[in-house]
């Protein structure tokens, strides 16, 4: 099995981490997003979506991180611990509920703050307009509140007392704004304790391996300029701000 990944991407990190945790053998195929490799003709033959992650299992190709995670769980059901994607109907429904909600809410808000705080300043000398940044931070705050109040509540994990795919997806998303220097856990002891429990379940060493990429903005700008990605992203950023 081949996994096409770039660990700058939260969904790719989630798939990477789960495959490692579950002991599922795979070949790591790097798709360097900063170099624009997702737009190459070769990668287009693998995935017309041109995003990561992508899984290739024999001749079967699958895109979308949630679909890949569920596929891996079900293919390796005999060896994957049940708590990751519980067989019990209502517990599985809770995992599905979070995974359905997070894509256009939690994940989107974490990613927007990451882009506004780390990538946008490279693309524009003026940075992000204050009203846009304030709105993005408010959306993130609302998502954090929803995670705590609806999904986590007073439980150890999103689904009762065992870690699941929902916790894994949530934490890798949170590391995006956190990686820009925004402490999303500050003043949130419940969320901080949950983060520590999830990291313990994953394993500190493995968690750090997946999150070790700390590319400085100068290097990032140089890589994007060389590949032509910088100009492409500038056009996209202008659409966001207009």
Q: State pLDDT tens for residues 29-67.
A: 999 998 889 989 999 999 999 999 999 999 999 999 999
Q: In angstroms, rounded to a whole number, what is the distance separating the alpha carbons of residues 30 and 25? A: 16
Residues 226-237 pLDDT 10s: 777 767 776 666
Which residue in 41, 35, 152, 169 sits closest to 99, CA to CA?
Answer: 169
How many Cβ atoms are within 10 Å of 32's Cβ, its own excluded? 14
Residues 114-132 pLDDT 10s: 989 988 887 776 678 999 9
């Amino acid at each position: 099995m081949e996994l096409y990944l770039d660990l700058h991407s939260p969904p790719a990190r989630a798939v990477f981490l789960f495959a490692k945790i579950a002991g599922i053998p795979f070949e790591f195929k790097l798709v360097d997003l900063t170099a624009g490799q997702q737009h190459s003709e070769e990668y287009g033959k693998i995935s017309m979506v041109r995003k990561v992650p992508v899984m290739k299992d024999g001749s079967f190709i699958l895109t979308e991180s949630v679909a890949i995670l569920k596929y891996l769980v079900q293919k390796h059901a005999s060896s994957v611990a049940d708590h990751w994607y519980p067989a019990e109907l209502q517990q599985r429904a809770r995992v599905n509920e979070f995974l359905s909600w997070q894509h256009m809410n939690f994940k989107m808000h974490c990613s927007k703050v990451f882009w506004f705080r780390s990538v946008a300043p490279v693309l524009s000398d003026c940075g992000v307009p204050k009203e846009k940044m304030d709105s993005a931070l408010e959306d993130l705050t609302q998502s954090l509140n929803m995670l705590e109040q609806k999904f986590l509540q007073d439980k150890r994990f999103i689904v009762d007392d065992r870690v699941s795919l929902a916790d894994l997806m949530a934490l890798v998303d949170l590391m995006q704004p956190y990686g820009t220097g925004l402490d999303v856990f500050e003043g949130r002891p419940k969320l901080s304790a949950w983060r520590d429990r999830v990291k313990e379940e994953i394993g500190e060493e493995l968690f750090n391996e997946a999150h070790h990429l700390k590319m400085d903005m100068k290097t990032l700008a140089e890589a994007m300029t060389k590949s032509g990605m910088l100009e492409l992203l500038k056009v996209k950023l202008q659409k966001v701000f207009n």
